[in-house]
Amino acid sequence: MKVVLVILSALALSEALKCQKTAAWTDANPELEEETCTAGVLTCSRPKWATDKYTEKTGNMVWGCGKCTDSEASCLTCTTDNCNVKYAEFKCKNVPDGSTDVACPDTLEEKKCYRPKVKNGAGEYFTGDWGCAPCATETNCVACTTALCNVKAATHKCNSYAKSGAVYTKGADQVDCSDDLPGCKMPTPDNAAASWDACGKCSDANDKSCAGGDDAASNDIANARFCKAGAAALDPATVKSAFCAEKN
């Protein structure tokens, strides 16, 4: 029986949460050591970093096992071994041109930088801020996990198209498209759209008046096949073009 108890005790110790601890943190870079938490303790804590130092100790504030029971707003908590590490400055770009940055709030969670995605070929961005806070709509935002990583996306070239009267023609110059909008697309000459954004792929795979692919070669009308498509009884003047499959 004693052997069983010893084994169970050893297992309990091996599974117990471990936290970094220090009794005082007036120093901006305190010495930490590991401690094994008592059974049932599932949280590590430490005081928050405030401007240039850690929050001063009050009441039951702790850097170690357990919670800051009477000062939770001044502490950070986490639940994995030795997760309550020291503050480390983490900065993100806070303007689109990347000329300035900002230090992010103290956290023990994974640090990330954010920026809104480009939403069209005109270079307009979805609503959202550049910096440490995520966009309200996650899919409209880019997140990354290294300091100052939230820079503008690179660009790729696509063929441009403009309408002359009722007919689209390929422009003489290509356009720069953000890599937030991967791929290129082109319209059939008689596509009904009032204007054409060549950046990104066709939004509807069933729309045969739009075609494209990964790069500028895929949205070059000179290399595409399109035909009038419609019922034989229709007035030919009303029948619109549709892109055809590539030749085998």
Residue 240: per-residue pLDDT = 87
Residue 235: per-residue pLDDT = 63
For the chain, the domains span 2-78, 88-152, 155-243
Q: What pLDDT band is residue 228 in, cutting at 50, 70 and 90?
A: confident
φ, ψ of residue 18 in degrees (nearest 5) = -115, 140
Reply yes or no on whether the pLDDT at 248 is more than 60: no
**Long-range contacts of range 191-196, CB-CB < 8 Å, 24 or more positions apart?**
191/240, 191/241, 192/240, 194/163, 195/163, 196/160, 196/161, 196/162, 196/163, 196/168
CA-nearest of 49, 87, 82 to 64 is 82
pLDDT digits (tens, 9 = 90+) for 15-57: 899 999 999 898 889 999 999 999 999 999 999 999 899 999 9
Burial, 220: exposed, middle or buried (Cβ in 10 Å; 0-12, 13-18, 19+)? middle
Reply yes or no on whether the pLDDT at 247 is more than 70: no
Q: What pLDDT band is residue 229 in, cutting at 50, 70 and 90?
A: confident
CA-nearest of 46, 104, 53 to 77 is 46
Tokens linked to 186: 């082109």
- Whole-prediction pTM value? 0.82
H or E element that contains 170 = strand 167-178
Q: What pLDDT band is residue 231 in, cutting at 50, 70 and 90?
A: low
